[in-house]
Structure 1
């Protein structure tokens, strides 16, 4: 096994320093095509909020909400509170949760490309069903098919990007997925702004246009190369080496190739990765796979992205103003992701996560104070305060865009050893989609019950997750993906959890023998 002294999942540190290669056009194009799947994820997030604020859509499928919107309501925060409307948004994520668990063995046994292609096909079917829906059942079935696509795409694409990228640029290239997601959200917001004027069928166009990025994902997946890690894991070692040489732009890939062979040897000895991931030596990665996506969603960002038009209308903004505001937040999210791509491999993951968390806490508290003091029953925000709310929300979205947005996906995708990597990514996606489902289903009710306190609720969670990163997440910047195991053995907390290596056991025994000998032969 690789690394000897570091145990079966680690490799010798000296080998990483022998990695050769450069950033080739081949790997950049492959990563861009793969990241298109993120655009579909973002499009579905952004499109639902705008569609659920369109009168023609509400009148056809959610008439009770339509009546509440059209007539005076004693509580601005409650006019959209409807579990059926919430189910339209959340059903997609519940389906994705189930699908990602199915996608894990497919991704491992048939490759990352297979899951990307299946995800694209499912997206196409879902978009067609949504665009042609004549009743609520057909509408929800389309959302479920989109959820299946999200489950497969989100499971495979971050893995694909992490494995294709060279070590020193893994963070930036992996964030192509998040960048595509934010661009998808912004595109959806702009499309909603245009289609809401096309009554009564504009919502059909909004939902149906998801087929365009889905087509790119499906066709792109067919022509993408498989990752060398996946090829080697499935026994195609020579083909894996050829792909590695091609994406690194050099024949001198022996060190990296040997690491992949060693990791593959262990991976193929593991027949039940979901059972193996529960072992002590995988405990730190499992904790991160659960808590990183949990905290990402509990930051409150999805509430703003799903329901931005609804949220701004609840605050007293007019229909057009709310769509303008949500389009602005989408643009801010997309542009701020570029900041993270440019800095993540220089500043590191921890700096961005902690600083972003602090900024998000401040923004949530400010919004809650403004709404608590100036926005009550049958009251509207003044024009100046309305602008201030939009500015603060944009600052919140900006902080998320260069911290927890991309890194909530990047960190879990790069920390697992090969033998549990697919299972670990499935857990990450499943947890993400579970909490996305919970927030999507409950947000309108929480908004009605907590009113401005909803922002303090999310601020509390951001405080917890910022402290969590400071205490428990080691810096992964510049660490080869097959050497990540070494980080946990050096961390102040996780080294107590990790089982000792054979060398550490031998060293402990030597110290004990030395101590015993010194005790039986004291110096005169």
Structure 2
């Protein structure tokens, strides 16, 4: 490891790269590692827990998916005052009191968010590779600033639609890059817990928008509700400089001194050699078929970044030489499925995310207000809807606490089984007009989904791919999620009109089929490095 020096006035430099440091690094010690009073050189980084530096960086980056959660539900509560003017309400000069539109236009404003999310997800992998994980979210802040600004100042329905579309783009990028970043900075033993901060921030965002929507559900104040996203975006942009870049990403870009320095800080130990070695050992073994390295001269050879310094890998046949060259071909959303080692995880993450939407979870949120209003007043219904948001947060937090203790598979399958029962009860309650059963079932579905089937697909999507394919794999995963969201949103009401509450039988069937497929194909990833998981999926 190169010696790193620090000057208060200049960036840290080494023979490999110039280190642009986060304040989280500068605040502690010298030489890019923890200071001696809190470092433990005997502790292996693979055995480390979650440090304050790691947690702080994760929380700051999670302000991005929090905005995604906020924008998901921002139009739910204020629909009535946006589309119909209350002549007795307060008026603001220069801006119309409301934006009169029919249900078709309002549905477009709601669903165009998913179209923007799809485009954002497909571009997120490229952004994460081009500018880094933290850099991608810095540039993505432009979408989160422009979108709420357009909606808050909207003078026509078209302006509202465009604002939703732009916010959707930012949301698509956020929910790809953030889980990827969390998995890459997390210690192996607590990767699940840290990664579930992504889902927790999403449901917190939903709760915030439900609460603000309830408080601002009068006259022109809907503009404050949709414009509050601008406050969140500015807060996130102003704090991103305090989060460190992913050390795995920096290592893949040959910024190895900086990667080691950040890893030392994140783990609070200088003993990081085993973890760094794991970033390359499995992939090297896969590419070279377990053959050894040598410095002897041969006619055909290729020097790779995985070999030790000044060591050359000897290649004696053309087929192996071609494989080595293919390792240097960038993995993108357009070619990831052409690589044999990525084909299976690619198909699994597509099914995980698409299957999540086929569970019918979004229709539960669509139904919540209408079901509540059958039994309670509009005001009481809005309060009960906020309580669903609170339950969503608490259930997600419980999943984060147990995912690294019990594993991904038990959490996923127990969640899917409980959802199948809860969705069945919801369909029965609605079909036979048993309002009490329907209301209770809404809470049961959320409590079943939030700790398992909600966050685990996001977590597995970051664990199935090594750093080379992480961006492209994450883009495809969330693209499948957005497509599933759009299809279910478009098809649900027509299907309900044709077959009634039997539509919920489709969701139950999808849960059972996906559960069987996942049981047979998805390995347990708890306690394994990303490289070890990739080897399992070969």
Same fold per superposition (TM over 0.5): yes
**1:51 and 1:19, CA in 2 relative to 1: closer, same or farther beyond 3 A?**
same
| 2:349 matched residue in structure 1 | 289
Choose from 352, 355, 359 the match for 2:418.
359
Q: Cα–Cα, structure 1 residues 270 and 426, in superposed 2: closer, same or farther, change >3 Å?
A: same
Aligned to 2:5: none
Residue 70 (structure 1) aligns with: none
Match of 2:446 in 1: 397
State yes or no: 1:329 paired with 2:396: no
* Secondary structure in structure 1 of the residue aligned to 2:206: helix
Query: Is the 1:48–1:306 Cα contact (8 Å) retained in structure 2?
Result: no
- After TM superposition, the structure 1 stretch with the greater mean CA deviation from structure 2, 90-99 or 171-180, is 90-99
1:204 aligns to 2:223 (yes or no): yes
Match among 123, 128, 135 for residue 114 of structure 1: 135
TM-score (norm 1): 0.80
Tell me the TM-score normalised to structure 2 length: 0.78
2:148 matched residue in structure 1: 127
Is 1:90–1:438's contact at 8 Å kept on the other side of the alignment? Answer: no
How far did residue 410 of structure 1 move?
Answer: 0.7
Return the offset for 1:421. Answer: 0.8
- SS of the counterpart of 1:417? coil
Deviation per CA, 1:68-104, whole angstroms, max 9, x where unpaired? Answer: xxxxxxxxxxxxxx43332211111111111222221
How far residue 161 of structure 1 moved from its aligned partner, in angstroms, is: 0.3
- Change over 3 Å in CA distance of 1:448–1:37 after alignment to 2: farther
Aligned 1:219-238 pairs, distance under 5 A: 219-238=238-257
Give the Cα separation in 1 of the matches to 2:113 and 2:101: 21
Q: CA deviation at 1:397?
A: 0.3
The structural deviation recorded for 1:144 is 1.0
Q: Counterparts of 1:262-341 in structure 2 under 5 Å? A: 265=306, 269-274=328-333, 275-306=335-366, 308-310=368-370, 312-313=372-373, 315=374, 317-341=376-400
Q: What is the distance in 1 between the residues matched to 2:246 and 2:356?
A: 27
State the secondary structure of the residue aligned to 1:403. Answer: helix
Q: For residues 378-457 of structure 1, what are the structure 2 equivalents within 5 Å?
A: 385-457=434-506
Task: Indicate whether 1:240 and 2:266 are aligned.
Answer: no
Deviations 1:445-498 (A, max 9, x none): 44444432232222221222222222221111111122212322xxxxxxxxx4
Deviation at 1:305, TM superposition (A): 2.9
Q: Deviations over 1:403-460 (max 9, x none)?
A: 1111121111111012111100010111111212222334444444443223222222
Tell me which residue corresponds to 2:157. Answer: 136
| Structure 1 residues 18 and 139: CA distance shift in structure 2, 3 A | closer
Per the alignment, in what secondary structure is the counterpart of residue 154 of structure 2? Answer: coil
CA distance in 1, matches of 2:251, 2:442: 46
Per the TM alignment, residue 220 of structure 1 is displaced from its structure 2 partner at its CA by 2.6
SS in structure 1 at match of 2:388: helix
Q: SS of the residue aligned with 1:302? A: helix
Aligned counterpart, 2:166: 145
TM-align CA RMSD:
2.3
C-alpha spacing 1:418/1:319, structure 2 compared with 1 (3 Å): same
- In the aligned structure 1, how far is the partner of 2:55 from the partner of 2:460? 20
Residues 445-454 or 298-307, more deviating: 445-454
Q: Distance in 1 between matches of 2:243 and 2:354?
A: 31
- Indicate if the aligned counterparts of 1:306 and 1:440 stay in contact, CA closer than 8 A: no
Deviation at 1:268, TM superposition (A): 6.8
The answer (yes or no) to whether the contact 1:122–1:148 under 8 Å persists in 2 is: yes
| Equivalent-residue separation in structure 2 for 1:216 and 1:163 (angstroms) | 24
State whether residues 57 and 203 of structure 1, in contact with CA within 8 Å, keep that contact through their aligned partners in structure 2: no
Change (3 A) 1:58 1:39: farther
| Kept after mapping to 2: 8 A contact 1:299/1:461 | yes
> Equivalents in 2 of 1:195, 1:445: separation in Å?
32
Structure 1 stretches of at least 4 aligned residues deviating more than 6 Å after TM superposition: none
**Aligned in 2, Cα 1:201/1:311: closer, same or farther, shift over 3 Å?**
farther
Mapped to 2, the partners of 1:20 and 1:346 lie a distance apart of 15
Could you list the per-position Cα deviations for residues 317-360 of structure 1 after superposition, in whole angstroms to 9, with x for gaps in the alignment?
54223322321211111100111111101111111111111111
SS in 1 for 2:420: helix
Which residues in structure 2 correspond to 1:455-474 (within 5 Å)?
455-474=504-523
Q: Which residue of 2 aligns with 1:250?
A: 269
CA distance in 2, matches of 1:320, 1:122: 33
Which residue number in structure 2 is paired with residue 348 of structure 1? 407
Distance 1:351 1:370, change over 3 A: same
Is the 1:309–1:322 Cα contact (8 Å) retained in structure 2?
yes
1:57 to 43, 64, 83: 83
Query: What per-residue deviation string (whole Å, max 9, x for no partner) do you get for residues 237-270 of structure 1?
Result: 1111111111011111011112235557489713
Conserved? CA contact 2:331–2:468, under 8 Å:
no
How many residue pairs get matched? 443
CA distance in 2, matches of 1:190, 1:21: 38
Distance in 2, Cα, partners of 1:208 & 1:446: 34
Cα drift, residue 312 of structure 1: 4.2
Task: Return 182-191 or 25-34, whichever deviates more.
Answer: 182-191
Please say if 1:32 is aligned against 2:92: no
Q: C-alpha displacement at 1:132, in angstroms?
A: 1.3
Whole-angstrom distance in 2 between the partners of 1:165 and 1:117: 21
Of the candidates 184, 191, 208, which is equivalent to residue 205 of structure 2? Answer: 184
Q: Gapped runs of 5+ residues in structure 2?
A: 1-43, 86-97, 284-304, 307-323
Once the two structures are TM-superposed, the CA of residue 201 in structure 1 deviates from its matched residue by 1.2
1:130 and 1:143 in contact (8 A); partners too: yes
